[in-house]
Copies of this chain bind each other. A is one copy, B any other.
Amino acid sequence: MEKPYCIQIFIIFISIAVFIFGCSTSTTRQAFANTHRNTNIQSSPIIDTPVHNSNHHLTNTPLHPLDPLTVPEINKIRSILAAYEPFSLSFPSINTLSLDEPEKSQVLSWKKGDPLPPRKASITSVLDGQTHLLVVDLDLNVVTGHVVSIGSGYPMLTTEDQTTALEVLYKDLEFNKSIIARGVDFNDLVCGSSSPGWFGPDEEGKRIVKVQCFSGQNTPNYYMRPIEGLTATVDVDKREVVKITDTGRDIPIPKETNTDYLYKTQSQFPYNSETNPMSMEQPKGPSFTVENGHTVKWANWVFHIKPDIRAGMIISQAMIRAENGEYRSVMYKGFASEVFVPYMDPDQAWYFKTYMDVGEYGLGATAMPLLELNDCPRYSYYMDGVFASADGRPFIRPNIICIFERYAGDIGWRHSEIPAMGFDLRESRPKVTLVARMVASVGNYDYIFDWEFQTDGVIRIKVGLSGMLLVKGTPYENIYNISNTEDMTGTLVSENVIGVVHDHYISFYLDMDIDGPNNSFAEVNLVKEETSPGQSPRKSYLKAKRKVAKTENDAKIKLSLYDPSEFHVFNPARRSRLGNPTGYKIVPGGTAASLLDCDDTPQIRAAVTNNQES
């Protein structure tokens, strides 16, 4: 298949089952879960948080075809939309508003100094329960595309959608009775509006959320104090409560004891570290530069990077310098395309927890400012996100991406010769890499995304999971009370608290353009060969057999330990000195298969996880 080619690959996180032993001192350290409580995310226009050079946003102009929309551009789009006839009576709610990227060919042919290709915005908005997909041309000052969506799916939840759900619920009499019955003071009530999953016709055609609540009494870690079994289904378009389920009145709200995570309240090691201070030292400063706010140059790499409301961080046009000094294309675009997090509990209050964090909440929308020195080392460069809120106004989320050089005491390459025959050699080169990091706090969960670039050409994507567990209340205080622990859907991790079994499937979009856009995909099977009689004292050996995918379907991969393969993306038209095609090997990190039934609605929705690459 020699045509432009993209890969969806999983780097799968297997925090599948959480078994917390007494020996593990890290209960609150184990990343775990999702309440997806995203109310009141910063959405005021142009916040005045002290940010390095934040004022430049007010007058910023794009300088590269892929640069994100600027504050002036977003303001202009808002004016265009406000003047657009179909919205003259009522301005729609903006769910996403971002650059409609030019065609790849336009981007590739653009050179520094050229005028930018036409700037366009792609907008998803809701008006009167209908989803409008719009394209605005910023040069022509008009809406050039407008489709009312009648297909499946819903736009990303806005902060306002989520706040609406809570406002509606807080006025509901039945809900108020339930809260009083649980003995929770309204001042301590913390509620979050959670995506409802997709379970066929019952809730279809409605934009709904499931609201669940916690007690924030005496703790910052209300996630550990669920009001179990109370679930309100709220229609955010109709602004009405659809249903309230209240099944867990016999389940106590877990106490706040032992689950406060604040450093200042931790007297115990390891929460309070006993180690001496430590940092990176770069006496001459870092070796990378960021040109025009988005183009990173470091060692032999250059790439474009930008925050994105949905993907969090998009790396584009990654190129590596060849021996003749020219930059060679490696990847046109790469980003986290989806995060699927199904919880494994069929209970009324839990069955729907089958989150798709990227499409439902947005990794950029949930990225909070990084903490200097703790989230990123010294000499980091920080980048702000410029996004649009539901009313179409721009806002700035400061410091959501950091870029830094990493030295971890590791060895890049080394060799020692044995001192014989005159070869008394020891050579070792320390490893220094470049990291671009963003962290999405999707409710209780913090996903740390690192893209790491090595001078030898390797690009490494790492995802760290941190934050708090999503837990289920239970009447049990210890496992001796439990008659059959086999019935539990998770592990008792504190008194009255169960950590429910779940998975995280993280999939990445990688549009590799190795030495140009025409790349192929090969599966290289490692196959056992038998020797013929008398050929060798060996009976067997393994051989690499290369199969080039002719169709996209050929490139769907189910990983197998006992029938292993490598996966190569290569450019058949570009050859090395020896005649080998240029290419990259795609190496999955943690790997896992989804065990859900293929016909189960969450798995149908997350069918991308049926294969490990596609």
A390 to chain B, nearest CB (A): 16
Which of B222, B415, B538 makes the CB contact (< 8 A) with A351?
B538
A483 within 8 A of B: no
User: Which residues, 484 to 531 on A, are CB-close (under 8 Å) to B?
Assistant: 486, 489, 491-495, 501, 503, 514-515, 524, 526-528, 530-531
A39 within 8 A of B: yes
User: Which residues, 442 to 474 on A, are CB-close (under 8 Å) to B?
Assistant: 443-444, 446, 448, 455-457, 464, 466-468
A582 within 8 A of B: yes
B residues near A542, Cβ cutoff 8 Å: 16, 344, 501, 503, 595-596
**A78-86, A176-184, A302-310, A422-430: which one contacts chain B?**
A422-430
Greatest chain B CB density within 10 A among A415, A444, A479 is at A415
State A596–B530 Cα separation when bound (angstroms).
9
Greatest chain B CB density within 10 A among A25, A190, A480, A503 is at A25
Using known A-B contacts A274-B300, A417-B441, A593-B562, determine if residue A344 contacts B541 with beta carbons closer than 8 Å: yes
B residues near A279, Cβ cutoff 8 Å: 280-281, 407
User: Which residues, 3 to 25 on A, are CB-close (under 8 Å) to B?
Assistant: 14, 16-17, 19-25
Closest to A568 in B: B19
B residues near A412, Cβ cutoff 8 Å: 29
State A613–B277 Cα separation when bound (angstroms).
39
A273 within 8 A of B: yes
Which of B277, B286, B417, B585 makes the CB contact (< 8 A) with A276?
B286
Q: Is the CB of B371 within 8 A of A455?
A: no
Number of identical protomers = 2
A327 within 8 A of B: no
Using known A-B contacts A275-B405, A584-B21, A596-B541, determine if residue A536 contacts B432 with beta carbons closer than 8 Å: no
B residues near A25, Cβ cutoff 8 Å: 300, 320, 322-323, 456-457
A261 within 8 A of B: yes
B residues near A600, Cβ cutoff 8 Å: 538-540
B residues near A130, Cβ cutoff 8 Å: none
A581 within 8 A of B: yes
B residues near A58, Cβ cutoff 8 Å: none
A26 within 8 A of B: yes
B residues near A591, Cβ cutoff 8 Å: 561
Q: Is the CB of A416 within 8 A of B429?
A: no
Greatest chain B CB density within 10 A among A374, A443, A515 is at A374
Which secondary structure dominates chain A's binding surface? loop
B residues near A540, Cβ cutoff 8 Å: 595-597, 600, 603
Which of B26, B276, B539, B582 makes the CB contact (< 8 A) with A282?
B276
Which of B328, B346, B409, B566 makes the CB contact (< 8 A) with A531?
B346
Using known A-B contacts A411-B448, A537-B200, A539-B600, determine if residue A564 contacts B595 with beta carbons closer than 8 Å: yes
How many residues on chain A are close to B (CB under 8 Å)?
Answer: 180
Q: Is the CB of A376 within 8 A of B409?
A: yes
Q: Is the CB of B277 within 8 A of A282?
A: yes
Q: Is the CB of A582 within 8 A of B323?
A: no
State A298–B269 Cα separation when bound (angstroms).
12
A270 to chain B, nearest CB (A): 4
A328 to chain B, nearest CB (A): 7
Using known A-B contacts A416-B368, A417-B441, A429-B374, determine if residue A595 contacts B528 with beta carbons closer than 8 Å: yes
Which of B14, B280, B298, B541 makes the CB contact (< 8 A) with A409?
B280
**A112-120, A132-140, A235-243, A570-578: which one contacts chain B?**
A570-578
B residues near A416, Cβ cutoff 8 Å: 368-369, 439, 441, 446
B residues near A366, Cβ cutoff 8 Å: 418
A512 to chain B, nearest CB (A): 10
Which of B269, B322, B408 makes the CB contact (< 8 A) with A455?
B269
B residues near A17, Cβ cutoff 8 Å: 524, 526, 544, 566
B residues near A561, Cβ cutoff 8 Å: 559-561, 591-593
Using known A-B contacts A40-B419, A280-B280, determine if residue A351 contacts B574 with beta carbons closer than 8 Å: no
Using known A-B contacts A19-B524, A21-B581, A576-B22, determine if residue A536 contacts B602 with beta carbons closer than 8 Å: no
Greatest chain B CB density within 10 A among A345, A425, A545, A561 is at A561
Q: List 12 A-B contacts (CB under 8 A).
A: A19-B585, A24-B457, A37-B420, A41-B418, A202-B537, A274-B300, A275-B298, A275-B405, A346-B538, A352-B537, A501-B542, A530-B597
Q: Give the 5 A-B residue pairs with the shortest CB-CB distance, closest first.
A: A22-B576, A408-B408, A346-B536, A270-B455, A40-B420
Task: Give 12 new A-B contacts, CB below 8 A, not counting A14-B564, A342-B541.
Answer: A21-B568, A23-B583, A24-B457, A220-B417, A269-B299, A274-B299, A374-B414, A406-B408, A413-B466, A489-B541, A539-B596, A539-B597
